[in-house]
Amino acid sequence: MSERIRLRRSAAALLVAAVTTGSALLLTACDPEGDTGTTAAPSKAVDGPASAEPSGPADGSPAPAGGKLNKTAGTKVTVSTGTNTVLMDGKSVDFGTVVRDLAWSPDGKHAAFIDGAGNLETSDPDGSHKTVIAKAPSGETWSHPTWQVYGPDEPHGAGTYLLFTADDKKALKLLSVEAKAGAKPDALHVGDSEAEKPLPDVGNLWPNSAGKAGATVYANKNDGQVYFHDVISRTNGGVITKGSQPALADDGTVVFVRSVSGHAHIFAKAHEQGAKEVDLTPGASVDYTEPVISHDGKNIAFRGPDGIYTMPAKGGKPDRITDTVGLPAYRS
């Protein structure tokens, strides 16, 4: 069993324990008016920009203002902007097609994204060997794919899947599809939980997993909560906290967005049961959104109004690595 799978299983167990024990800390964190253990009292949760829409312009036109600064080399951060180009390794890589909501496989060898036609595609890191996994039905918008890779020691055997958001203008739902050409997406049912209150099956969006061993976090637009789901067993899950746009590290650390005094801040919650939430951007006077966390849980990247920033996951001074505004992702 790989070290990453072992870590993810341990993280899943801790998250499940935190959800199912109904601890006072977790219940308090779900109340936006309660004591969250943060440095500032949060106001209502925010979805942030493009919460249910793919990132970037719909016509593949050039990215917003910026593009002169590119310090992505050595950071493992990539930035997709809804154009043909993706920033990575200090370069601008032309994928030959519109790339929105780029996400990397756990080994960093494959990209998943929403193309210019709104379909789900995968490719190699340079944009070659593109494969259309599934085509979005007319009138339905797909966004924010994330990878789930199972090893041969998992209960249902080895397999590679993609989870993503589907918006048919009536409801937001999470779908799952095997990462092969022409596969048929199925609804990801998150409501069959052991929690006392049934989990919502609609309004769900922004799924994120570090890739392996089944643990996934996602947000619900209707109630403003961040949820956890054990994809393997499908019987464990529940509310983690109030917020939106969550991302998950291998060790179970979660980063997410919450509004504080009228601005979107980046928060983190460690995987240990009873860990307090920490506002990583307590002095923010602008909106910081769309956070991602490195596989080892040591660094985060997020979007600001004037580009992409990185900082240690334990807090520190944000460092702007590019003035191109887009969606950040970590590549192994």
Tens of pLDDT, residues 20-34: 443 333 323 333 333
Q: Report helix, strand or coil for 13.
A: helix
Q: Choose which CATH entry (2.120.10.30, 3.40.50.300, 3.40.50.1950, 1.10.10.10) describes domain 3-330.
A: 2.120.10.30
Do 304 and 321 contact (CB within 8 A), yes or no?
no
Question: Would the pLDDT of 207 be above 80?
Answer: yes
pLDDT class of 35 with cuts at 50, 70, 90: very low
Report which DSSP code applies to 78: E
Where do the structural domains in the chain lie, given as residue ranges? Answer: 3-330
Q: Count CA within 13 A, CB hemisphere, residue 169.
A: 4
Please state, in angstroms and rounded to a whole number, the distance separating the CA atoms of residues 118 and 98. 10
**Whole-model pTM?**
0.83
Q: For all residues of the chain together, what is the average pLDDT?
A: 82
Write phi, then psi, for 284 (nearest 5 degrees). -65, 130
- Report the pLDDT value the prediction gives residue 219, as an integer from 0 to 100: 98
pLDDT class of 41 with cuts at 50, 70, 90: very low
- Report the pLDDT value the prediction gives residue 20, as an integer from 0 to 100: 41
Other residues' Cβ atoms within 10 Å of the Cβ of residue 201: 16
Please state, in angstroms and rounded to a whole number, the distance separating the CA atoms of residues 263 and 149. 35
Q: Which among 30-39, 147-156, 220-229 has the top mean pLDDT?
A: 220-229
- Report the pLDDT value the prediction gives residue 324, as an integer from 0 to 100: 96
Distances 259 to 42, 45, 327 between C-alpha atoms, Å? 6, 5, 19
- pLDDT tens track for 99-145: 999 999 999 999 999 999 999 999 999 999 999 999 999 999 999 99
pLDDT class of 301 with cuts at 50, 70, 90: very high
The residue behind tokens 């910081």 is 288
DSSP E strand boundaries for 107-242: 111-114, 120-123, 131-134, 141-150, 159-167, 172-178, 186-187, 204-208, 215-220, 225-230, 237-242
- pLDDT tens track for 252-272: 899 999 999 999 999 999 877
Please state, in angstroms and rounded to a whole number, the distance separating the CA atoms of residues 206 and 229. 13
pLDDT class of 230 with cuts at 50, 70, 90: confident
Please state, in angstroms and rounded to a whole number, the distance separating the CA atoms of residues 119 and 141. 9
Sequence length of the chain is 332
Residue whose C-alpha is closest to residue 37's, from 288, 242, 331, 178: 242
pLDDT class of 238 with cuts at 50, 70, 90: confident
